[in-house]
Structure formats: C-alpha cells, structure tokens
Amino acid sequence: MALFGTDGIRGLANRDLTVELALDLAVAAAHVLVESSSNKDHRPTAIVGQDSRASGEFLEAAVVAGLTSAGINVYRVGVLPTPAIAFLVAESKADLGVMISASHNPMPDNGIKLFSRGGGKLDDVIEARIEARMGEEWLRPTGHGVGRVINDESAKERYLEHLLASVSTPLAGITVVVDCANGASSFVAPEALLRAGAKVIAIADTPDGWNINDGVGSTHLSHLRSAVLEHGADLGIAHDGDADRCLAIDATGAEVDGDHILSILAKSFKSRGMLKGNTVVGTVMSNLGFIHSMKDAGIDVITTAVGDRYVLETMLEKDYALGGEQSGHVIMRNYANTGDGILTAMQLIQEVVRSGKTLAELAASMVRFPQVLINVKDVAKEKLDGSAVIAAAVKKAQDELGSNGRVLLRASGTEALVRVMVEAQSDNIATNIAQQLADVVKGELG
C-alpha cells in the first residue's frame, strides 16, 4: 500500500505515524532533494512548520533531526497554516517545505505534507522516489557536513504581509466572526482580518494541543452559526486545523460552502479581468448548481479528480487563475500556489464590500442542488469500473435525472469503500436513487 495519499501522509499519531517513520521520511526526502539539485555546492534549506496538535511537537523534532542529520539547514517556523509554509518556501527560495498536520482530521491523527521548490505540492513521481529511498543504508555526514536549525521569528509577519497585500479594498464596516478551529489560523486569521479593516470576533482561537477541530471549525459549523447570530455579524468564516479551507456563514445563519465561494470569486475575477481563459477549475464533486451558475455567467468549468492537488495540476497545465473544491479549498494563482483559507476569506469579504451586497445576496446567484452521498463500506472497490451491472444501473439513473441531476460513483483512495453521490432537484429523489445505487454496489462488490 502506498505511503502517500492525495495530500501527504496521514495516520494515528504515534501508532501509524511514528517518530521513526517521520525521521526516515525526512532523511529520504533530503537524499532525493540533494540528488535533484542542479547546484551541488549549495547547501539545501527546508522550511518546517506544524499545526497545533500536541503530537506535532515530537513529529517536528523527528523531521528536523532527519533533515539536519542529512545535511539540510532547517528554518523552523512553529505553528503556522499549511499555506504559510507553501508561501515561505517560495518567498525564501527554500528547497523543501514540510508541514506537520492532519488538516481537518480529529486531534489524535497527524500527517506530513511536503512542498517542493516554489511552494507546490510534490508530484507523484517525486513522492514515489522518496518512498523508495526510505530505510536504505547511507553515508552519514559529519562535522561541517551536518545541517543547522534556525528558529525563524519573522515568518508569521512575512506571511501576514503577504495576505494583506492581496486586499485592495479595505474591509471597513464589516463585522466578521472567525472560527479558528483551535488550530493554526488562531495565530494569524484574526490579526489579518483586523489589519485589513474588519471588526473581528474570534472564536475557537485558544489551542491547547488537544482541542484542535474538536466540535469547531469548517467541519462543525453550528458553533460559528450561533456566534454570527448572537453578535449580529455580517458573516462568519470557518477554517480547519491547518487553515487551507474556508467555509462561511451568512448573516441569516445559512451555510456558504466552497462551491458558493468559488462561484462568487469567479464572477468577481471575471468582472475585474482576472479570470484567465474565462475558466474556473472544479472537481467531479462540484455541485451541479455551481456548474449551472457558471454557465449562466458565461464562465467555462473544467472538472478534475477530487483533491486540491489535481485542481492545481490542471490550473498549472492550462495557466488558469482560479479553482477549488466544495470542501472550501480555493486556489487563486494571482496570489498563491496552493489553497489558502485565510486568503480566501479575505477575498470573499472584500467582494462583499466591493459589491455593496450581503454575502447572502452574493451566494443566492448559485442555487445548490440537493446532494446525497452514501459510503458503501467493505466492498471490492477495485472491481467498480469493471462491473457491467453497476454501469447499467448508473446509466439508468442518469437517464431518469436528465439535465436536472447527476450521478457519480468513485472508489475511495484510502478505504475499502465506494462513494455513491447523487444530485437531484429534491432531497427525496436524490436519496432514493442514491440508496438504489448503493444497494446495487453492495450486491455486486460486497
């Protein structure tokens, strides 16, 4: 089984993701990094950061030890969002970035994400090379050959300046509640929004190592909804543990998901001449309402596999400026080369100010189709594409829905399950068809 998933390595900290694994991974990454360098006289450098999980402390120590033992100089930046690491790698021209985080996962989990030169995520080929080098014998450097550790005290401020540089319209007059998920955004998001001119009410902004994502953040919006209504705020913003996601709540308490946000920003970018190719990149899970909204606005949509790395690959290949996912990963290449939840929030709020409309009014231009997702567990997912019975059932369902609905079946990349997704004009229709297809999948592959 491959070590790397669609977004780095994740697992239960100290069981699946151990100190030994982190150390070994760092050494292998260092070897691949050094061998791929065009300047053999240059000592490679790495940026290492983490989210607020307690396990990040010992995993960071292991990663730093592995890199420096292999001759890499490490700039340690502490607790910062994942997109901050990507930015700092590009800004400092570092050779590698390492973020220790499991994003929106529960606190006991953790993960390791690697960034290449320029701040982009590693491609599959490089990840495979790193994995192949783990556990090998190697000649350890000594003396001046080992790397050094530098505590970079200016990293947070440089990232904040980067965020603020993206805002051309002050956020004055806006009251925003920001849910920091007791994660990495706690140290950046409230301050960035405040400096940009907004009145800020921060919640879930006191991480203690154990409370990250615990009933708060982008996967638990009820806490934010209550705070927005209680304070009479114009809107609320929710991040996940490492702040690469952004979801929102409007002043009425309604959810504004990643598809809504992407729709709002696409129209804004188009009106300002910033939407390259008049195209936005989504995924196969993008809501049909988003597709219709873009069509109505005269904007083309290209869809990719689920995962922000695949969205970014298509954006880079075709030189598109905007893309994202329903989960709240939004990539704006005018400002960054990875999804950045805080940057997304600032651009979204800026559009509220710039347009003179409420968030609810902006979001209303996209009518979300009811979407039902059923995970069919304990099935032979590898046989999904070869089943004629399942293919016939999917075609029958899609014919019934026509242009007013959509069916998508896909195998999970990490678990023994198949995801059945159906969109339709009503919850009842979507639920009935999804259950019928789930029964077929279970009968054929179970």
- Are the CB atoms for 299 and 267 separated by under 8 Å? yes
| 307, 337, 363 - which closes a domain | 363
pTM of the full predicted structure? 0.91
Q: What is the pLDDT of residue 6?
A: 66
Q: Give helix 341-355 / helix 82-92 axis angle, nearest 10°.
A: 100
* Separation of alpha carbons 392 and 259, rounded Å: 30
- Are the CB atoms for 271 and 310 separated by under 8 Å? no
Same domain, yes or no, for 228 and 358?
A: yes
Residues shown for the chain: 446
Q: What are the residue numbers of the active site?
A: 103
- Are the CB atoms for 187 and 80 separated by under 8 Å? yes
Residue 2 lies in a domain: no
Closest residue by Cα to residue 103 from 162, 181, 205: 181
What SS3 class is residue 6?
Answer: coil
| 124, 153, 182 - which closes a domain | 153
Residue 1 lies in a domain: no
* Separation of alpha carbons 67 and 264, rounded Å: 42
Same domain, yes or no, for 46 and 94?
A: yes
Domain of 413, CATH number, reads 3.30.310.50
* Separation of alpha carbons 303 and 324, rounded Å: 10
Compute φ and ψ for 112, nearest 5 degrees.
-130, 120
Q: How many domains does the chain have?
A: 3
Closest residue by Cα to residue 202 from 177, 230, 166, 227: 177
Residue 3 lies in a domain: no
Same domain, yes or no, for 177 and 320?
A: yes
The number of beta carbons lying within 10 Å of the beta carbon of residue 367 is 13
Same domain, yes or no, for 247 and 335?
A: yes
Domain of 286, CATH number, reads 3.40.120.10
Residue 409 lies in a domain: yes
Residue 100 lies in a domain: yes
Q: What is the pLDDT of residue 414?
A: 66
Longest dimension (CA), the chain: 71
Residue 21 lies in a domain: yes
Residue 114 lies in a domain: yes
Same domain, yes or no, for 147 and 197?
A: no
| 138, 153, 168 - which closes a domain | 153
Domain that holds residue 293: 158-363
Half-sphere exposure of 363 (CA within 13 A, CB side): 22
Same domain, yes or no, for 190 and 139?
A: no
Same domain, yes or no, for 167 and 138?
A: no
Q: What is the pLDDT of residue 431?
A: 96
SS3 sequence, 43-58? CCEEEEEECCCCHHHH
* Separation of alpha carbons 344 and 333, rounded Å: 12
- Mean pLDDT score of the chain, rounded to an integer? 94
* Separation of alpha carbons 354 and 217, rounded Å: 27
The number of beta carbons lying within 10 Å of the beta carbon of residue 418 is 26
Compute φ and ψ for 49, nearest 5 degrees.
-135, 180
Same domain, yes or no, for 243 and 139?
A: no
Same domain, yes or no, for 343 and 288?
A: yes
Same domain, yes or no, for 230 and 145?
A: no
Same domain, yes or no, for 231 and 129?
A: no
Closest residue by Cα to residue 429 from 419, 437, 440: 437
Q: Is 132 exposed, middle or buried (0-12, 13-18, 19+ CB in 10 A)?
A: exposed
Amino acid in position 170: P
- What pairs with residue 283 in β-bridges? 304
Residue 408 lies in a domain: yes
What SS3 class is residue 183?
Answer: coil
pLDDT over 70 percentage in the chain? 98
Same domain, yes or no, for 282 and 384?
A: no
Summarised one tens digit per residue, pLDDT across range 87-111 is 999 999 999 999 999 999 999 999 9
Which ranges of the chain have pLDDT less than 50?
A: 1
Helices and strands (DSSP H and E) totals, the chain: 14, 18
Assigned token pair, 239: 């991040």
